[in-house]
Amino acid sequence: MKTFKTMIAVTAMALALPMAAPAAAQEFPLEPGEYSEVSGIFVNDGSEFKYAQHLADQWVANLEFAKSNGWVSDYKIYVNVNPREGEPNIYLMTTFPRLLDAAEQERRNAAWTEFSKTNVQQQIAESGNRAEYRTVLSSMLLQEYTVRK
């Protein structure tokens, strides 16, 4: 019986040896970075110019405001050149450094309302009006990871 216990102990130690590597070698090789939210938008045929005008005016103005406050680090518009049936034909990407807690979200909502010179009810109505010519089909929250150096 003692030999069996010794064999188990020796086997356990042998299995543990590869894990006794230096701490740096055990570090995860990727490090987390910024977040990107990507919204997939379908724009109805014939409404491309109207939606493009909204993006060029109001959408960019809002994101430049966010960028000037450090809330957003980048934003981009991607057009799906060859969309398949049911796929978005536009993707809107917004990149930001961190997720918000409730207090920060409330503070930013108040700043947005002041900046836009509209109230929440008006903002929701304006978003609803765009439903006449565009549909949000998807939304993804991605986090960038880079190779640790």
The secondary structure of residue 69, as a DSSP letter, is T
Q: What's the pLDDT at 129?
A: 82
Q: What percent of the chain has pLDDT over 90?
A: 66
62-92 tens-digit pLDDT: 999 999 999 999 999 999 999 999 999 999 9
In this structure, the dihedral spanned by the alpha carbons of residues 33, 106, 112 and 39, taken in order and rounded to 10 degrees, is: 50
Contacts of 60 (CB under 8 A, 6+ apart): 75
Contacts of 38 (CB under 8 A, 6+ apart): 91, 92, 93, 138, 139, 140, 142
Residue 124, pLDDT > 70, answer yes
Residue 21, pLDDT > 90, answer no
Q: What's the pLDDT at 98?
A: 96
Q: What's the pLDDT at 68?
A: 97
Q: What's the pLDDT at 7?
A: 41
Provide the CA 97 distance to its chain's centre, in angstroms.
Answer: 10
CATH 1.10.510.10 fits 31-147, yes or no: no
* Residue 69 in tokens: 């406050």
* Residue 131 in tokens: 């439903």
- Mean pLDDT score of the chain: 86
Q: Worst-scoring range by mean pLDDT, 78-82, 87-91, 126-130, 145-149?
A: 126-130
* Between 88 and 26, the higher pLDDT residue: 88
Whole-prediction pTM value? Answer: 0.76
In the predicted model, what is the mean pLDDT of residues 16-41?
79
